[in-house]
Amino acid sequence: MSTLPTAAIIGAGSSGIAAAKALHERGLMFDCFEASDRVGGNWVFENKNGVSAAYRDLHINTSRDRMQFSDFPMPRSLPDFPHHTQIAAYFDAYVDHFGFRDRISFETSIERAEQRADGSWRLTDAQGKGRVYDMLVVANGHHWDTRWPEPAFPGADRFEGIQMHAHRYRDNAFLAGKDVVVLGMGNSAMDIAVESSYVAATTQLAARRGAWIVPKYLFGKPLDQVNTLPKIPHWLSGRISEAIVRLHTGRPERYGLPRPDHHFGAAHPTVSGRILDRITHGAIAPRPNIAQLGPDWVQFADGTQVHADVVIYCTGYRITFPFFDEDFLAAPGNRIELYRGAFVPGNASLAFVGLLQPLGAIMPLAEVQGRWIAEYLRGEYHLPSPRAMEAHLRREGARRRRRYVASQRHTIQVDFDTYLYDLRRERRRGAARAAAAGRALPVPARAGRVGEGAPA
Ligand SMILES: Cc1cc2nc3c(=O)[nH]c(=O)nc-3n(C[C@H](O)[C@H](O)[C@H](O)COP(=O)(O)OP(=O)(O)OC[C@H]3O[C@@H](n4cnc5c(N)ncnc54)[C@H](O)[C@@H]3O)c2cc1C
Ligand SMILES: NC(=O)c1ccc[n+]([C@@H]2O[C@H](COP(=O)([O-])OP(=O)(O)OC[C@H]3O[C@@H](n4cnc5c(N)ncnc54)[C@H](OP(=O)(O)O)[C@@H]3O)[C@@H](O)[C@H]2O)c1
């Protein structure tokens, strides 16, 4: 019987498999539960779990070398920005390469996760089967629960055409010959407006706020491989990047897009090598925000009005955990207080993986979080005190609010390099704390409570 605590991981998307691999490698006992019949989450087109946002022509917008796991490079034969099928195949290969597929229970949706008085967890799946673990690792993703405009635009209930969220978009076939309005300035809006522009009669791109649109390549390199140094203050690197983007493409207003109300780096990057091209071809018309809808028209904030058959809301996602009681833990307005994006101060046996919105790819950050959690479960890393974690959270929260545009899309925003750098240092500090405490286990191992045979 292991003297180490047991763990359950919810989700086998790229974050869940990164955590599973780390626990597997460090000899920890765990089960990973996945609602779908395969790994890869969002990257599985028409995923059986019903919540993948992948569209037929989706390519990653963080480059291959930024997205890959550190010890499992993506094949060099892949392009810089692979197609979703190639990304899904890569995650599949990762699981087989490191040999932990047998630790994943497929087609097992966790419906309830309840923490017991002693800190351990009782999980109940959709079939009503219960299991108990010492630690819970949540990797259920944060780009699947759709956020629609709230409140809905006046007249939305009178509109007789199609209103849909970007999450349901698969390809542009149904837009052929239609008058289409796309709302948003994030990456979904860019991709969908471009796809629409090739087949629709008209495509309007409406936005309540401008964005700095960056191309996929700069100086002949994928944009996210142009080096950033964690030591350079973000405002300085932001100004430098803004100057480069302005030299490269000019100001967004030059294309009729709204003027950004923020400097570069104060919003999640909008990456598109194609949108400006389509605007300058007259195939996409930039508009301000939607003001109201009629039965077959949309009026914008500047009073202009167009005929519309389809409105596609590319308005982002909500962070939700349907398996928790809302009173236990929720993220209203996408706000959630997690120490370095992973731990709840005061709750030793709960951690999150991949609940970050990086300026860069999520996967390498989830990979490091997985290693961090494995060290923690083995007693090789100790967290700071809850008070110290709360103080850190307050500082980080204030810093994030100063830095980013106030929007629900920036509540878990981090800088890729800075996050990795800071976590490396924190893991060293926590290792010293653990050594001083004789490597006591922060999560006690409760022998006999391993998975299926566990008492209810
Ligand atoms: C259109 C689109 C494009 C994107 N492009 C990029 C990109 O280029 N680069 C990038 O870094 N990020 C990108 N993202 C962000 C995306 O969130 C990550 O790429 C990645 O999918 C995150 O992986 P994840 O494992 O955290 O979440 P997911 O991929 O959402 O996986 C979560 C998994 O958990 C499972 N699950 C959830 N709840 C339960 C439950 N209760 N029981 C059992 N299983 C459960 C789901 O079935 C799913 O398999 C994109 C997002 C979208 C929507
Ligand atoms: N090719 C790719 O790899 C690809 C493609 C698509 C998406 N993604 C990723 O998927 C994630 C989600 O992207 P997303 O574009 O779907 O969502 P997002 O980044 O959250 O962007 C949502 C957009 O909708 C706007 N918005 C929200 N509520 C609104 C309202 N009520 N009225 C008007 N506008 C509103 C936001 O404006 P504010 O800024 O004012 O809030 C923002 O412009 C991101 O990580 C993104 O990088 C990647």
The per-residue b/e assignment along 368-382, b for 16 or more CB within 10 angstroms, e otherwise, is bbbbbbbbbbbbbbb
CA of 408 from ligand 2 middle (Å) equals 10
**Structure confidence at residue 233 (pLDDT):** 82
The confidence score (pLDDT) of residue 449 equals 53
In sequence order, the 6+-apart residues with CB closer than 8 A to the CB of 142 are 317, 319, 354, 355, 357, 412
Residue type, 174: F
Tell me the ligand closest to 145's alpha carbon.
1
pLDDT for res 227: 65
Query: Tokens 């390099």 appear where?
Result: 417
Residues in the chain predicted with pLDDT less than 70, given as ranges, are 1-2, 227-231, 447-456
> How many Å apart are CA 456 and CA 445, to the nearest integer?
17
Contacts of residue 157, defined as CB under 8 A and 6 or more positions apart, other chains included, come to none
Cβ 149 under 6 angstroms from ligand 2? yes
Q: Closest ligand 2 atom to the C-alpha of 270?
A: 47
280 and 213 Cβ atoms separated by less than 8 Å: no
Per-residue tokens: 167: 């999450």
CA of 19 to the centre of ligand 1 (A): 14
Which runs of consecutive H residues, i.e. helices, occur in 285-344?
A: none
Q: How is 53-67 classified by DSSP, letter by letter?
A: ---TT-B-SS-HHHH
Q: Which residue in this structure is represented by tokens 């300026």?
A: 359
Distances in Å between the alpha carbon of 19 and those of 85, 287, 335?
Answer: 22, 43, 23
Q: How many angstroms does the Cα of residue 110 sit away from the middle of ligand 1? A: 16
368 pocket-lining for ligand 1 (C-beta < 6 Å): no
pLDDT value, residue 245: 87
Task: Rounding to the nearest 10 degrees, give the CA dihedral for residues 287, 177, 315, 41.
Answer: -150
Q: Is 105 in the pocket of ligand 1 (CB under 6 A)?
A: no
33 contacts 77 by C-beta, under 8 angstroms? no
Ligand nearest to the CA of 360: 1
Q: Per the structure block, which two tokens stand in for 316? A: 């982002």
- DSSP codes joined into one string, 220-267: TEEGGGS---TTS-HHHHHHHHHHHHHHHH--GGGGTPPPPSS-TTSS
Whether the CB of 194 sits within 6 Å of ligand 2: no
Task: Look at residue 230 in the predicted model and tell me its pLDDT.
Answer: 59
Beta carbons of 357 and 414 less than 8 angstroms apart: yes
Q: Is residue 216 within 6 Å of ligand 2 at its C-beta?
A: no
